[in-house]
Copies of this chain bind each other. A is one copy, B any other.
Amino acid sequence: MRSLADSKQVNDNVEKIRRGESESVGNPEDLPHFRLPAVQSASEKASKSTTSAGKKEMPPIGTYVLPHPIWTEEQLHEVKVTHKQPDCLVDRLAYRTVRLFRGGFDVFSGFKFGTRNEKKWLNRICFLETVAGVPGMVAAMMRHMTSLRRLQRDQGWIHTLLEEAENERMHLLTALQLKEPSTLFRLCVIGAQGVFVTMFSISYVISAKFCHRFVGYLEEEAVKTYTKCLEDIDEPDGPMKHWRTQPAPDVAIRYWKMKPESTMRDVILAIRADEAHHRIVNHSLASLSKDEFNPYKPGK
């Protein structure tokens, strides 16, 4: 009945949706990488008869994600900390900006001082991922609007940028499984988003090349950060050694199609491989001109 939409049909459709009976309602069990979360299976019956929005009744996080790379064991382990030498003014500017951000953040967040522990790591990861989800979405929107406004095709960049944005948001939602954010933390996130969205949007209008190079360098830092996290996990008496055995959250196992017995260490390996992927993608996009075709296929 998608051909019709008068009051009655809209209300019927909404009722159906709320009863979970809509023909389009997602059945997560149909999905290739579905795993029934414990909390859902417990309330499964209840969720079919109630209409109010309770978290327990929702399909799991990541039910409808864009295609994204699934890493092999080999790919997870061959990721290296690398640095692309800046070779023009824009590159140098982008690199300086990233170094400045990183330096400021290390001091301001207190990460530079004292011993590292799980709380510090989770704070850092969650905060950085709320920022990391911004560039891909802003860039995708800018290119979409440019295509509409200039009456010309996009050259295949948008889907890759959206994939990156969603992937970073999944990093955040994964890390949040282990963290209950404080009010102060929430305020910092809101402030940072306001500033960063504004700055990045303006920068993208001025120089898309600068922005992709900036993200490339940001991802170099992300790979460094997650490599350090892995060191803290692997060090015999390291502050994070419990992540060697702590089970991966359900959302991570579904999203990266991991083995059910995977650990937090495996999650960090997967996130680091994602960051390394964004690193080469953004450095490459920065080196292409805006109207060259983006060769990255969906999920590759």
Shortest C-beta distance, A163 to chain B (Å), equals 10
CA A273 – CA B4 in complex, angstroms?
10
Q: Is A190 an interface residue (CB 8 A)?
A: yes
Interface string of A267-300 (1 = CB under 8 A from B): 0000001001101100110011101110111101
Q: Which of B4, B7, B22, B158 contacts A85 (CB 8 A)?
A: B7
Q: Is A43 an interface residue (CB 8 A)?
A: no
CA A157 – CA B178 in complex, angstroms?
24
CA A79 – CA B5 in complex, angstroms?
10
Q: Do A144 and B169 touch across chains, with their CB atoms under 8 A apart?
A: yes
CA A276 – CA B6 in complex, angstroms?
11
With A2-B277, A153-B61 as given contacts, are A145 and B289 in contact (CB-CB < 8 Å)?
Answer: no
Q: Do B165 and A53 touch across chains, with their CB atoms under 8 A apart?
A: no
Q: Which of A25, A78, A293 has the most CB of B within 10 A?
A: A293
Q: Do A297 and B26 touch across chains, with their CB atoms under 8 A apart?
A: yes
Shortest C-beta distance, A183 to chain B (Å), equals 12
Q: Do A3 and B148 touch across chains, with their CB atoms under 8 A apart?
A: no
Q: Which of B6, B63, B165 contacts A83 (CB 8 A)?
A: B6
Interface string of A204-224 (1 = CB under 8 A from B): 000000000000100110000
Q: Is A90 an interface residue (CB 8 A)?
A: no
CA A85 – CA B6 in complex, angstroms?
7
Q: Which of A110-118, A126-134, A232-240 faces chain B?
A: A126-134
Q: Do A17 and B288 touch across chains, with their CB atoms under 8 A apart?
A: yes
Q: Which residues of B contact A14 (CB under 8 A)?
A: 284, 287-288
CA A166 – CA B186 in complex, angstroms?
33
Q: Is A260 an interface residue (CB 8 A)?
A: no
CA A145 – CA B137 in complex, angstroms?
9
Q: Which of B78, B141, B172 contacts A3 (CB 8 A)?
A: B78
Q: Do A149 and B169 touch across chains, with their CB atoms under 8 A apart?
A: no
Q: Which residues of B contact A169 (CB under 8 A)?
A: 144, 147-148, 154
Q: Do A5 and B220 touch across chains, with their CB atoms under 8 A apart?
A: yes
Q: Is A24 an interface residue (CB 8 A)?
A: yes
With A7-B84, A216-B5 as given contacts, are A151 and B189 in contact (CB-CB < 8 Å)?
Answer: yes
22 contacts between A and B (CB under 8 A): A2-B75, A3-B78, A3-B273, A3-B276, A4-B82, A5-B84, A7-B87, A10-B283, A13-B283, A14-B288, A17-B284, A17-B292, A53-B292, A53-B293, A58-B153, A59-B156, A66-B66, A133-B148, A134-B145, A137-B141, A145-B193, A147-B173
For the complex of A and B, list the 7 residue pairs with the smallest distance between their C-beta atoms, beginning with the closest. Answer: A25-B295, A5-B280, A3-B78, A10-B283, A7-B85, A14-B287, A3-B79
CA A17 – CA B4 in complex, angstroms?
46
CA A28 – CA B145 in complex, angstroms?
25
CA A288 – CA B220 in complex, angstroms?
41
